[in-house]
Structure 1
Amino acid sequence: MFGFLNLDKPFDWTSHDCVAKTRKLLRIKKVGHAGTLDPAATGVLPIAIGKATRLLQYLPTDKAYKATIRLGVQTTTDDLQGEIISQQPVTELSLETVKTVLQQFQGKIEQIPPSYSAIQVDGKRLYDLARLGEKVEAPVRNVEVFNIDILDWRVGTFAELDVSIACGGGTYIRAIARDLGAVLGTGGTLAALQRTVSSGFNLADSITLAELEAKLEAEEFQPMVADAPLQHLPEITLAETEARRWCQGQKISLDSQVSQIARIYNEERLFLGIGESKEELLIPRMVLEGVS
């Protein structure tokens, strides 16, 4: 069995927990995931099964989220799972002020990941260093936020803002919540997070672990075909002889001089794997299927 599973990750589960559970349910060792989600986050977690784990590096990186930002509160982890560092009433804060400030978080921006994150510094995870009490600032990262839309605004002692965010890979929504609060001078933290899009997978098409288990018991589960989330890559179709040679690891001559990573198919539309066209040659990068 190989292909992909579009999993709706439950609250309070780590991404590793989901992989371990999927491995157990499918009775297959080779299982991996794309785009780690924090335990407190829910939503799309792409799971690769079998040989499809080798395709994870080729998935698109764009993501989208629905988030709730609580203003007036600052925590150690930049979400509600951490200890409160400071809090103050924000009853005078207006939505118009928030809208104005929020604009500076769109486009290509610099961002410092949260102290409690999986980023590595000198070979060690930031969250491990933070738990040891070591204060290490993560290096600044360049990320891109394509769009932020305000969904709802709730006034109170600590105002809450619901937003939808479309962004590139590596963007921390917790950091946006923290930095928004810093610019407003109120403090801010992430109160809730759901990922709606990740690596070509959508929440509307996802299934829960319980639904996966039920499908397996009913013998109705079929993984998503391996090339389904790779439609952002161009495709190249090879004739029978060329396809056979390519699957054996040989370079194939091409007319095109365009350098690109591409999906490779034979004339019967069998997905063979991933190749790279470079200097009029098609180089095998990941052979998924053999052609006899």
Structure 2
Amino acid sequence: MQGFINLNKPFGWTSHDCVAKARKLCKLKRVGHAGTLDPAATGVLPIAVGKATRLLQYLPSDKAYKATIRFGMQTTTDDLQGEIISSQPGAELDLAQIKTVLAKFIGKIEQIPPIYSAIQVEGKRLYDLARQGAAVEVPPRTVEIYRIEILDWRVGDFPELDVEIACGGGTYIRAIARDLGTVLNTGGTLAALVRTQSSGFNLADSLTLDELEAQLSNGTFQPTPPDTALQHLPSVTLPSISAQKWCQGQRISLTPEITDQVRVYEATRFLGIGELQAGVLIPQMVFEPIA
């Protein structure tokens, strides 16, 4: 078996837990995932099985989420899983105030990741350092937010905002919740998160672990073909002789003279990933060599 599983990650599971479960269900050792999800988040977690694990690095990085932000509260983890740092009712906050500042979060922005995150600083995970009580300066990173759409607004002592966010890879939605609360002088934390799109996979087409297990048991499961997940890349098709040379690590002259990462085929057979540089196709990853 080789290809991708569009998994709907359950609440409370780590991404590593899901990989371990998929490895057991599929009876395969080579299993990996794209785009880590926090245990408290649910939704799309692409799982690669078999040789498709070699393709994880080539998946598109764009993601989309539905998030609930609670105002009037700050926590150590920037979500409801952490300890409360401050709590002050924000009933006076209204939607008009939020709309005036949301524009600051669109486009390329500087974001400081949550202290409880998997980012490494000096070779150690931030969440490990945080649990040890170490004082760590978290470096900011540039992320890109394509769109934030307001879905719902609920008033109360701790009002909540439901939003849909489309963004580039590396974006922390917890940090958006925290920073939005800071700008509004109310405090803010992430109350719920569902990833609706990741690396070209959508929530509507995803499988729960129970559904995956049932399909594997009755023999109906078919993983997403390896190259289907790479449709964001242009493709080139080689004749048989050139395809064999390319699979052996040789460079192939092609036109037009462009620079781009491409899917490589012989007829309809997916061979791997190459890079076109000035009319020369250079092997990057040979997925299916020709004997």
Instruction: Report if TM-score (shorter chain) is over 0.5.
Output: yes
1:136-285 matches, cutoff 5 A: 136-267=136-267, 269-285=268-284
User: Structure 1 residue runs of 4+, over 6 Å off?
Assistant: none
Match of 2:67 in 1: 67
Match of 1:21 in 2: 21
Per-residue CA distance 1:75-120 (angstroms, 9 max, x = gap): 0000000000001011111110011111111111110000000011
Aligned partners of 1:195, 1:27: CA distance in 2, in Å? Answer: 27
1:176 alignment partner AA: I
1:216 alignment partner AA: L
Match of 1:290 in 2: 289
Per-residue CA distance 1:209-234 (angstroms, 9 max, x = gap): 00000001111111110011111101
2:138 alignment partner AA: A
TM-score between the two structures when normalised by the length of structure 2: 0.99
**Aligned residue-pair number:** 291
Per-residue CA distance 1:147-204 (angstroms, 9 max, x = gap): 0000000000100000000000000000000000000000000000000000000000
Aligned partners of 2:257, 2:166: CA distance in 1, in Å? Answer: 33
Tell me the SS of whatever aligns to 1:214. helix
Aligned partners of 1:123, 1:13: CA distance in 2, in Å? Answer: 25
CA drift at 1:137: 2.3
Aligned partners of 1:215, 1:141: CA distance in 2, in Å? Answer: 41
Aligned partners of 2:137, 2:65: CA distance in 1, in Å? Answer: 25
Asked if the contact 1:243–1:266 (Cα under 8 Å) also holds between the matched residues in 2, the reply is: yes
Q: CA RMSD in A?
A: 0.7
1:49 alignment partner AA: V
Aligned partners of 2:286, 2:263: CA distance in 1, in Å? Answer: 10
Asked if the contact 1:119–1:138 (Cα under 8 Å) also holds between the matched residues in 2, the reply is: no
Asked if the contact 1:2–1:223 (Cα under 8 Å) also holds between the matched residues in 2, the reply is: yes
CA drift at 1:257: 2.2
Sequence identity percentage? 70
Q: Which blocks of at least 5 consecutive residues in structure 2 are unaligned?
A: none
CA drift at 1:280: 2.4
Larger mean Cα displacement after TM superposition, 192-201 or 253-262: 253-262
Q: Which blocks of at least 5 consecutive residues in structure 1 are unaligned?
A: none
Tell me the SS of whatever aligns to 1:169. coil
TM-score between the two structures when normalised by the length of structure 1: 0.98
2:240 alignment partner AA: E
Tell me the SS of whatever aligns to 2:242. helix
CA drift at 1:255: 2.4
Asked if the contact 1:239–1:266 (Cα under 8 Å) also holds between the matched residues in 2, the reply is: yes
Match of 2:120 in 1: 120
2:216 alignment partner AA: L
Per-residue CA distance 1:37-63 (angstroms, 9 max, x = gap): 000000000000010000000000000
Per-residue CA distance 1:109-158 (angstroms, 9 max, x = gap): 11000000001110110000000001212111000000000000000010
Match of 2:48 in 1: 48
Match of 2:79 in 1: 79
Tell me the SS of whatever aligns to 1:28. coil
Aligned partners of 1:207, 1:99: CA distance in 2, in Å? Answer: 35
Aligned partners of 1:96, 1:179: CA distance in 2, in Å? Answer: 17
Tell me the SS of whatever aligns to 1:227. helix
